[in-house]
Amino acid sequence: MSGIVVIFDFDKTIIDIDSDNWVVDELGATDLFNQLLPTMPWNSVMDKMMNELHSQGKSIEDIEEVLKRIPIHPRVVPTIKAAHALGCDLRVLSDANMFYIETILKHYGILECFSEINTNPGFVDEEGKLRIMPYHDFHTFSHGCNLCPPNMCKGKIIERIQATLATQGKKRIVYLGDGAGDFCPSLKLVEYDYMMPRKDFPVWDLICKNRELVKAEVHEWTDGEDLERVLLQLIMTIISIVDENTNQLFDCKFETIGHEMLPKPVYVP
Ligand SMILES: [Mg+2]
Ligand SMILES: [Zn+2]
């Protein structure tokens, strides 16, 4: 193992658009979705939408067919395979749902590259209806984070991951995301971690405005091709630092060597 844990958001990070919007639009239910959205949390709207689509005669196979042709940048799948081949521990942290994510990752043959998927439960019930549940059951308890939607605080999940990693020696986290929900976890990253916000997307704006709150080194990316370049370069650099460090135990030049070798960080204003 490389000592690197790469955590990917899913919507607009692994895939190029929002999966919930894609499914609703492709199955012709956009108007109802827009009507429901102001009345309840997004995650609850999706469960209701799936109920509605089922009663309109849309099957699980219809949903799977729509998911399999979701737009994804052609460089993303090879990048995930390359990061996995380099020994990185890959995980998903997403506010979509398990059914969508597993269907799409399986379709591209990359489900096995991931050691963990953290997302809202999504399963087919006995009537053949897709049910989408909140990650945190906010009817019985509140996660208490005011940055995040009631069904999921990604920061709390990062803290859980960090606690398990702490028992496995020094690990560096690389986090990739685009949305406002990726800001809370970016605040949990520490000095030797890396945050990769998608440029000109909400998490990038939030990081620009709160630069002093983010301890991790920030490397922005624009699209799948840029994601490949930035991520693989970071992984190669971290691997070479770790090699250097294990070869030369107690080397006090470690910090200097490390920084010279790193790709130039993007210090967003
Ligand atoms: Mg996203
Ligand atoms: Zn949070």
Ligand nearest the Cα atom of residue 151: 2
CA of 190 to the centre of ligand 1 (A): 21
Cβ density class 79-104: b for 16+ within 10 Å, e for less: bbebbbebebbbbbbbbbbbbbbbbb
Mean pLDDT of 219-245: 93
Q: State the pLDDT at residue 264.
A: 55
Residue 251 a catalytic site member: no
Residues with Cβ within 5 Å of ion ligand 1? 9, 11-12, 178-179
> Catalytic site residue 137?
no
| Angle (CA) 115 166 156, round 5° | 70
Q: Where are the domains of the chain?
A: 4-17+73-122+142-261
Q: How far is the CA of 202 from the centre of ligand 1 (A)?
A: 9
pLDDT, mean of residues 3-23: 98
Per-residue confidence (pLDDT) for residue 242, from 0 to 100: 75
What would the pLDDT profile of 157-208 be if each residue is shown by its tens digit?
Answer: 999 999 999 998 889 999 999 999 999 999 999 999 999 999 999 999 999 9
Question: Please, is 143 exposed, middle or buried when counting C-beta atoms within 10 Å of its C-beta (0-12, 13-18, 19+)?
Answer: middle
Into which CATH architecture does domain 4-17+73-122+142-261 fall? 3-Layer(aba) Sandwich (3.40)
Checking if the pLDDT of 258 tops 70, the result is: no
Q: What is the pLDDT of residue 110?
A: 98
Ligand nearest to C-alpha 157: 2
Q: Which ligand is nearest to the CA of 180?
A: 1
Q: What is the pLDDT of residue 2?
A: 80
The answer on pLDDT for 263 being more than 70 is no
Q: Please, where are the H alpha helices in 166-250?
A: 183-188, 202-209, 224-247
Angle at which helices 42-55 and 60-68 cross, to 10°: 120
Q: What band does 243 get if pLDDT is binned at 50, 70 and 90? A: confident
Distance 225 CA to ligand 2 centre (A): 29
Ligand 1 centre from 13 Cα, in Å? 6
CA of 183 to the centre of ligand 1 (A): 11
